Amino acid sequence: MQIHPLSSISSKSKIGHDVSVGPFCVIEKGVEIGDGTVLEARVSIKEGTIVGENNHFCEGAVIGGLPQHVAVPEECGALIIGSENMFRENVTIHRALKESNATIIGDNNLLMVNSHVAHDCRLGDNIVMANNVMIAGHVTIGNKANISGAVGVHQFCRIGEYAMVGGQSHIAQDVPPFVTVDGLTSNIVGLNMIGLRRGGFAAEDVKQLKEAYHIIFRSELAWRDILKTLEERYTKGAVVELTRFLTTTSRGILREGRRHPNALSQLKLHRATESGDDEVTTIRLNVG
């Protein structure tokens, strides 16, 4: 164990083997830190936090702070962190609001600079959250989801496994598993084909996900008929998880935003003439 003399560690905390603590860190009472964990300079691990093995906390991280809520109770819940996670500079994660609950972070996640996870969130495994991502309270994020920079997620929303959320998206409804969200429009724009390929999904799974995607977003069926069709047609494979997610949504899902295949856009070219007037030439581009 390597503890810098300029750090403050409560005698009522529990520190595992081979833990490294840099300067100006604070570990409060009741904290448990697993073997092999590294705290760089100025890391604060607050009361009510349990940390697994081989986690890495970079400079300025504040882990286990009180919930940002107008009615914080005298006794809050816990923060439980798994193993092999990387928390980059200035990451903040809050404990659960109620004493009987916990904010939960799984294993092998990467939370980049300035990302924030609020109270009562549940993050799975192998998630990547880029810089300045803002996750509000009670949000659930599935395994191997990828959240790009500056994304804001509304409270109680869910992001499914293998979803890819584009930068600066505003997530106010659920993001189903396996889809891609465009950062400019915050709409779903197709399946996350790169994620599916990297995840080793079988060709049949990908084929069925494409079929299910068409049923959900382009069949014009009523919602109850969409769910019934998926449940009856697909009884195994990745679509089963997609169907389960859809049947348990309470906020609804993001809509698909796609350009009509024959849509035209205009490119306007401005050129000054000899008389000083501005001549405008419009070029129509087929971008379907």
Q: Which of 64, 77, 116, 120 is catalytic?
A: 120
Give one DSSP letter per residue of the chain, joined into a string.
-EE-TT-EE-TTSEE-TT-EE-TT-EE-TT-EE-TT-EE-TT-EE-TTEEE-SS-EE-TT-EEEEPP--TT--SS--EEEE-SS-EE-TT-EEE--SSTT-EEEE-SS-EE-TT-EE-TT-EE-SS-EE-TT-EE-TT-EE-TT-EE-TT-EE-TT-EE-TT-EE-TT-EE-SBB-TTEEE-TTT--EEEE-HHHHHHTT--HHHHHHHHHHHHHHHHS---HHHHHHHHHHH--SSHHHHHHHHHHT-SS-BPPB----TT-EEEEEEEEE-TTS-EEEEEEEEE--
Does the annotation count 17 as an active-site position? no
Does the annotation count 119 as an active-site position? yes
Q: Which of 60, 119, 174, 195 is catalytic?
A: 119
Does the annotation count 237 as an active-site position? no
Residues designated catalytic = 119-120, 137
